[in-house]
Every structure is written in C-alpha cells, then in structure tokens.
C-alpha cells in the first residue's frame, strides 16, 4: 500500500516513537529485504506482527502525513536507489492452522512456500501450482499470483483486510475481482492481514509428487537468487496454453538474452527474467526492463505490462 503525500520535514524523533512505538527504525536499508538485493533505504521502517500493529502504524502515518508502503517478502519489488521517503511497514503476521477438513487459515505475512508445504502435509490439494513461488501470502493475494494454470484467486475463500484509514473487515473472494495478475487491491491499496483458503482433500503422495514436479520445472528455468522471477506479465491469448502468450517467447525472439545494462542482465535460461549479477543497481534493472519493452513494442506492437512493483522515484 502506498499513500502519496509529502513527508513533513524534521519530525521530532520523540514524536515519531510516541506514534509508532519503540521498534521504529530510521534509514533502514531495504536491499537485503528484496530478492533483487538492490535499492536504497526507507526513511522509516517498522515490522508489524499483528493486526493491531498495522492499524496503529497506518493511522499514525495518516495523521502525520507520512507516505506508507507495506511489504511482504520483497520478492516482486524493485526499490529505487534513492530509497523511499516514507515509512515501510513489513508485514510479519504469521500463523498456519487447519480450520476444517478443507479450510486453512494463514497470516498475510506467512511465506507462500510454507503454506504450500503445510497444505501438502495435510493432504490438501489446490495450491500445488504455487510451489517455489517466493514472497508472502498477502502479496500473492494482492497480485493474484499464479503459475502452471493455477492462481491464488481460484482457492481463496475470504480474507481479513486493513484499509488506508486503519479499518479492519473481512471480505469473501468475490470482493477481490480477481483477474490475471490483478485484484482490486491494486486500486484500494488494502492490506491482507490474514486469509482462508478452501482446498480439496486428496492423497498426500500425489500432491507431493505434483509439488516436486513443479519445483523441478522451476529449477530448470529460474535462478535461485537476485531476481524477481518473471518481470513481465504474459499476454492474454485464448489460442495459447493456459490462455496466455508467454512474454518470454516474444523476448526470446527480439534477442533479450543478449542484453545487459551495468550489473543487470537477462537470464540465459529464461528471457523474461532479469537478474542482478551481484553489482547491479535498481537503475540498471529499470533501464534494462525499458530496453526489453521497447524491443517487443517495436517488433510486435505489444506493450509489455510489468509484474514487478516499483517503490520510490526512478529518474
């Protein structure tokens, strides 16, 4: 969630601590918290481990006119090299529990891969497609994460949300208006505090085999660090498998794998993946992404849409 407004200059530290609590951090580096491992610091930073923590932080930020960004696992995020002139709230509301034979409740800050492992252990099917997807459950719902023909929106039952004013309520799956890598949360900027998934009881060996197969397929084409995974969305096309034309196929045809900018390069096994070779800046990654978009637009007349979120100012 980002609330656009100007930060009041020189806010007294004592007032900030009073508003946000003693766990508030200043000038916290964000690069180690993102899968790209790039970007500058957040002016203010707070880890929120409960709904009450989030509500207090959101309301305090609103009262003090401080821009807010809520992050989960940082796996789909490109942070400006200049950082973020506001408060980053890192959501760490965790917990996993079986509510009924086919219902699982999970905190919005829980890792998606831990949810997949939990439901597999309890012989529940429906989330195998998410095996190996980095990031948090809240972030996965926010962007309707998916792979191999499956999407989070297909199995969500309901979720507890916190809005920009700090109000808390529960909404069922229809509220989210799930689309391809999209939900209405991208407009409302609401935060997923927790969620309940309705799954299908199955046979554990078959579920685990499906998970293992997907993990093996991912390992063949995805790097294991310094990347956000696929940078661009696939293109809706009913004639293609799963109804999508892979952006990677178009990028392959325009010679994407030959390209690099500074320390950022296109992964040699997947043309829709940008990697940080270890010395990239966020500006390098941004410029390489723009180069890729231009090549596809010039060749095919298709403007690629990004999956990765940006935080801060890019010049």
Reported as type and span, the H/E element at residue 261 is strand 260-261
Residue of 28, 181, 226, 295 marked catalytic? 181
Residue owning tokens 């696939």: 234
Whole-angstrom distance, CA of residue 250 vs CA of residue 298: 11
State phi, psi for 68 to the nearest 5 degrees. Answer: -120, 140
Whole-angstrom distance, CA of residue 35 vs CA of residue 246: 22
Tokens of 257: 């794998």
Q: Cα dist. 119→12, 21, 78, 197, 218 in Å?
A: 47, 35, 30, 10, 20
Question: If we measure between CA atoms, which residue out of 174, 130, 126 comes closest to residue 148?
Answer: 130
Whole-angstrom distance, CA of residue 37 vs CA of residue 228: 10
Q: Is 229 within 8 Å of 211 (Cβ atoms)?
A: no
Question: Catalytic: 181?
Answer: yes
Residue of 128, 151, 190, 307 marked catalytic? 307
Residue of 230, 233, 286, 295 marked catalytic? 230
Q: Would strands 191-198 and 156-162 be described as parallel, antiparallel, or unpaired?
A: antiparallel
DSSP state of 34: S
Question: Catalytic: 307?
Answer: yes
What is the number of residues in the chain?
A: 315
So which residues are the catalytic ones? Answer: 181, 230, 307
């Amino acid at each position: 969630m980002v609330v656009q407004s100007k930060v009041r200059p020189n806010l007294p530290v004592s007032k900030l601590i009073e508003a946000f609590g003693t766990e508030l951090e200043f000038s916290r580096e964000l690069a180690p918290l993102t899968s790209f491992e790039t970007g500058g610091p957040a002016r203010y930073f707070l880890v929120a481990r409960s709904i009450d923590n989030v509500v207090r932080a959101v309301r305090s930020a609103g009262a003090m006119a401080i821009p807010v960004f809520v992050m989960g696992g940082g796996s789909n995020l490109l942070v400006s090299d200049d950082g973020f002139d506001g408060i980053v709230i890192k959501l760490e509301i965790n917990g996993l529990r079986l509510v009924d034979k086919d219902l699982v409740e999970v905190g919005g800050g829980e890792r998606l891969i831990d949810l997949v492992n939990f439901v597999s252990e309890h012989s529940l099917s429906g989330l195998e497609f998410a095996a190996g997807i980095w990031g948090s459950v809240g972030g996965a719902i926010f962007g309707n994460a998916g792979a191999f023909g499956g999407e989070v929106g297909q199995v969500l039952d309901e979720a507890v949300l916190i809005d920009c004013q700090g109000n808390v309520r529960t909404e069922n799956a229809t509220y989210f208006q799930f689309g391809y890598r999209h939900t209405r949360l991208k407009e409302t900027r609401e935060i997923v505090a927790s969620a309940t998934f309705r799954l299908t009881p199955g046979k554990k060996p078959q579920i685990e085999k499906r998970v293992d197969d997907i993990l093996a397929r991912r390992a063949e084409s995805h790097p294991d660090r310094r990347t956000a995974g696929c940078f661009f969305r696939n293109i809706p096309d009913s004639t293609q498998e799963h109804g999508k034309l892979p952006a990677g196929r178009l990028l392959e045809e325009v010679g994407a794998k030959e390209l690099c900018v500074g320390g950022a390069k296109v992964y040699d096994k997947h043309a829709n993946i940008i990697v940080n070779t270890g010395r990239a800046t966020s500006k390098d990654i941004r410029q390489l992404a723009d180069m890729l978009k231009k090549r596809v637009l010039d060749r095919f007349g298709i403007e690629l849409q990004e999956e990765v979120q940006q935080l801060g100012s890019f010049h």
